[in-house]
Amino acid sequence: MTTKTKIAILGSGNIGTDLMLKILKSEVLETALFVGIDPNSEGLKRAEKLGISTTHLGIDGLVADANFAGIKIVFDATSAYAHLKHAKILKEHGKKVVDLTPAALGPYVIPVANLDEHLSADNVNMVTCGGQATIPIVHAINKAVPGEVYYGEIVASISSKSAGPGTRANIDEFTETTARAIEVVGGAKKGKAIIVLNPSDPPLIMRDTVYALVDATRADEEIVTIAIKDMVASVAKYVPGYRLTQDPVFDYFDESNKVTIPGYGTFRGMKVTTLLEVEGAGDYLPKYAGNLDIMTAAAVEMGKQIAKTI
């Protein structure tokens, strides 16, 4: 029987708890310690009922715990601000870190785009939920029209009910980190990210819109469409609720209807619009919280691959 790699989860909120429940089903990873700062948090209580060791003393409790020596990977599901402290301490102890906050201290990782490139890194950043949902599309378009995604813009709309205190505290970091990752991982020359907290009741599932501006003389609608659909199928292997709501839409701009984009300039060429939705697996929160599901699913995928290198 293969021995599972022991991991710890920092953060007992929505993301940390969903992550814990996904790892319970993993054949590669095992949660040796679930860490929070509120002894009355629902996440810690859930972990205790499942027989998972816990501490409510935060990073200090993690380091002092008897399980710490055997833990190889730490998943940080706290906040960008807290991660700055956590990353330094965990590096001193030689722990691999999968960062689910927008702190972005380590390289950005989108599993279907660049997972293999950063397996040896001490700290990898999972960008944001919006980034995990949309950057694969920008990356696919960039491969279909090599080096010609001049501008990539994403709009991530999530239910207000699925945005906990950590998400709300990190809104600025969300937009900055996602925009930068659109460029670094997606391959766009200029990236922009917008997040919408939808107050609708009943809650709507996560919906994402991806706009990409490319050179019309080098782009083929059929090739771009195939690339996008192939990428959606790849993401759906670890996020089954990830899907297109319709085929990509193509618009063209020339001298007669050129468009000016702040921060980019005047554009002439093809605009590719991709409409997505992400339905959660319902492991912890309702299925409308696809924003949490895609983040934790991507982190588990990264953790599994890191474990194979240890």
pLDDT of 42: 96
The pLDDT assigned to 264 comes to 75
What is the percent of the chain where pLDDT is above 70? 99
Assign 148 a pLDDT band (cuts: 50, 70, 90).
confident
Segment 267-292 mean pLDDT: 94
Confidence of residue 19 (pLDDT cuts 50, 70, 90): very high
Helix, strand or coil, per DSSP, at residue 4: coil
Q: Mark whether 281 and 135 lie in a shared domain.
A: yes
Q: Are residues 250 and 137 in the same domain?
A: yes
**129 counts as catalytic:** yes
Instruction: Report the number of distinct structural domains present in the chain.
Output: 2
Same-domain pairing of 187 and 76: no
Nearest alpha-carbon partner for 62 in 76, 49, 50, 48 = 76
**Do 123 and 240 belong to one domain?**
no
Of the candidates 59, 129, 158, 285, the residue annotated as catalytic is 129
Same domain? 202 vs 266:
yes
Q: By residue range, what is the domain housing residue 186?
A: 129-287
121 and 137 fall within a common domain: no
The pTM score is: 0.94
What's the longest Cα–Cα distance across the chain?
A: 69
- Say what the pLDDT of residue 6 is: 98
CATH of residue 15's domain is 3.40.50.720
CB 178 within 8 A of CB 216: no
Residue 146 has pLDDT above 80, yes or no: yes
| Residues 268-287, mean pLDDT to the nearest whole number | 95
DSSP E strands, 88-148:
96-99, 123-125
